[in-house]
Structure 1
Amino acid sequence: MSKYLLNKFLFTVDRDPELVERYRADPVGTVTWWEQEMANKLLNCTSAEQSTWLAFTDEERRALREHDHVALFELGAHPFLTLTLFIALFERDHGPLEYQKAYGKALEHLSLPYPDVAT
């Protein structure tokens, strides 16, 4: 499991409106493409610099493909990164603060200590 890679996905997709729309419309294809093309590129570096070993686990891949923010949180994805991306994905389908309240309600079964979100 790589919390770094989960958070990198959430961060990079959230900061690109075209990727947000792509992820909303085709989560399976977007996760597959991102893992193959972007996962091993270093942030803020030239495209020639990249690693070779980062990959999602099957559990992480499933949670990303299914837009499962509860599973992502349980896997250690940072809740602020998940929330901001999921607001961009789904808030438009709901009334004011309706999505944020549903997001929190889906997590209310969790209690302290929360999963470690340090990367």
Structure 2
Amino acid sequence: MSKYLVDKFLYTIDRDPELVERYRDDPRGTVEWWEAEQAGSILNCVRAETTTWLKFEPGEREALATHDYPRLFELGAHPFLTLTLFIAMFERDHEPLGFQKEYARRLGHFQLPYPDYAT
């Protein structure tokens, strides 16, 4: 897994309210757009500093495209990045702290040691 690339996706989407809404409404399209247009920019530098080797693995792409945060956690995505982005997208659909409880419930089957999320 390219933990760096998945974490970069989660981080950059979470930092832009318009991208949060786009990802909420069209996750597959947002993942495809981001991979094609944004993934190759090294550390978000000038356009001349790009690469073509940064691509999601199929499992990563599918987990991102289906908002499957338990699978992302299993693959090693940083849990704080998934939590903050998914709170931004889905907290409004739950009672106060409801999404955080749902997140904990859906990840509750994981046992120590947790998947390694170091990049």
The TM-score, its normalising length taken from structure 1, stands at 0.97
Q: CA RMSD, aligned part only?
A: 0.7
Match of 1:14 in 2: 14
Q: How does 1:94-113 map to 2 (within 5 A)?
A: 94-113=94-113
Match of 2:86 in 1: 86
Task: Give a deviation string over 1:62-104, Cα, whole Å, max 9, x none.
Answer: 1001000000000000000000000000001111000000100
Match of 1:3 in 2: 3
Q: Which runs of 4+ in 1 moved over 6 A?
A: none
Q: How does 1:1-119 map to 2 (within 5 A)?
A: 1-119=1-119
The TM-score, its normalising length taken from structure 2, stands at 0.97
Determine what percentage of the aligned residue pairs are the same residue: 68
Q: Partners of 2:67 and 2:4 in 1: how far apart?
A: 18
Unaligned runs of at least 5 residues, structure 1 = none
Query: How many pairs were matched up?
Result: 119
Q: Partners of 1:21 and 1:88 in 2: how far apart?
A: 9
Secondary structure of 2:35's counterpart equals helix
Unaligned runs of at least 5 residues, structure 2 = none
Q: Partners of 2:78 and 2:24 in 1: how far apart?
A: 19
Q: Partners of 1:48 and 1:93 in 2: how far apart?
A: 41
Secondary structure of 1:71's counterpart equals helix
